[in-house]
Amino acid sequence: MSARLLLPLGFAFSILIWAYIVKPESKQPIPPPQVDAPLAAAAGKETAVFAGGCFWGTQAVFQRVKGVIATTTGYAGGSASTATYDQVVTETTGHAESVEVIYDPSRISYGQLLRIFFSVAHDPTQLNRQGPDVGTSYRSAIFYANEEQKRVATAYISQLDAAKVFTKPIVTEVTPLKGFYRAEDYHQDYALKNPANPYIQICDLPKISALKQQFPELFVDYKGKQEAAH
């Protein structure tokens, strides 16, 4: 992702080519999960961790979802000793760029978060890449925190594949969360703070628009971490 920060001419051109040639498979949200955790009876906090390509865009989506309390960009899948940006971009650490989502289970279910993840946050059929970003650190992954999350995630993937919702099989990994490591400060709220960045405009702002269009009842206009919980 260092190339994204510098955005050299060649990389910018590749983003433009990808944006205008590769089209989303659907303008409609995918079906809801048939297996889901019920909404909690009382307010609380639970954690979900998703990897879906560049964590700038994944965070930009989930921080605008009603019921989400906080989001953090970071790394999951590798060890604490290699959880730095400079090491992760070498594609040798096992880490994936990920987002930790703290949510209120009385307001939004884990299955609803998964529906958003698969509908607008990324393309779950791309193996070890996401759009113009290539490498295992951009893989699609669900890092489950407990057996219930594993059950809901695996059932949903089976449901979507059986229904052939996507033209290709889902390649999303479902793997236990062994650790989540916060990314450097400049990666936090990056899309919010850098709306004029060409990468953000081409790759990430369309995801926010898709969230608003496909899930208007869940969309909130995020202004920054100083806001109260949605």
Q: Sign of dihedral through CA atoms 52, 56, 57, 60?
A: positive
Q: Which long-range contacts (CB under 8 A, 24 or more apart) does 10-18 make?
A: 11/132, 12/198, 12/199, 14/132, 15/131, 15/132, 15/198, 15/199, 15/202, 15/203, 16/202, 18/131, 18/132
DSSP string, 90-108: TT-S--EEEEEEEE-TTTS
The set of catalytic residues is: 54
* β-pairing verdict for 180-182 and 68-76: antiparallel
Angle (CA) 20 113 129, round 5°: 40
